[in-house]
Amino acid sequence: MKCSNIHKKLIFFLENELPEKEMEEVGIHLSECKDCAVFAEDLKKTLHILDTEKLPEVNPFFYTRVKAKMEATEPEKVTYVNLIFNRVLQPALFTVLLLAGIYGGIKIGTPSTLKNTVYALQNQEVPILNEMETESIEGFLMDRP
C-alpha cells in the first residue's frame, strides 16, 4: 500500500474500525515504514489528548444547586398594569417617538423659503465689505499715487 492510502485509513486503524484484512495490511505497512509509524504514534498521542479533554469533570452537586436556585426564584407576577404597559403603551410610545424623529428630520432637511431669504437680504445692516466690485481694478490701481 502507498503511504497516502495508509494516512487516510490511519485514524480508523487506531480506533479499530477497519475490517480485519485492512487492519492487517495497515499493521504490516506500519511495521515496514518508519515515517508512517512515527506519524501513527503522533496521531495516537493527539487522539488520546482529545479523548481526555473531551469529557469535562462533572460536579456531582451542579444539578442540585441549579434545581434549588430555580425553585427559590419566584416567577414574575403579571399584573394588569404591566400587561397594558408592555403590550400597548410601550409600542405606542416608540411609534410616537419614531414619527417625531421622522418629522423633525424632514423639517431640518427642507431648505428655507425664498421669501425669507429675500427679506433678510433687503434689510441687511452690514455694510458691503467687498468694495472692489463697485469699480474696476484698473481704475483703482491707476488712481493710486
Mean of pLDDT values over 43-64: 81
- Considering only CA atoms, which of 78, 76, 2 is closest in space to residue 33? 2
- pTM (predicted TM-score): 0.38
- Considering only CA atoms, which of 52, 19, 13, 16 is closest in space to residue 36? 13
Q: What was the pLDDT predicted at 97?
A: 96
Per the structure, how many domains does the chain have? 2
Residue 36: inside a domain: yes
pLDDT tens, residue by residue, 59-75: 788 888 888 888 887 77
Residue 45: inside a domain: yes
Residue 72: inside a domain: no
SS3 call for 11: helix
Residue 142: inside a domain: no
Residue 8: inside a domain: yes
Residue 129: inside a domain: no
pLDDT tens, residue by residue, 102-130: 999 998 888 766 555 555 555 555 555 55
For 108, the domain range is 80-122
Residue 65: inside a domain: no
Q: Are residues 50 and 84 in the same domain?
A: no
Residue 70: inside a domain: no
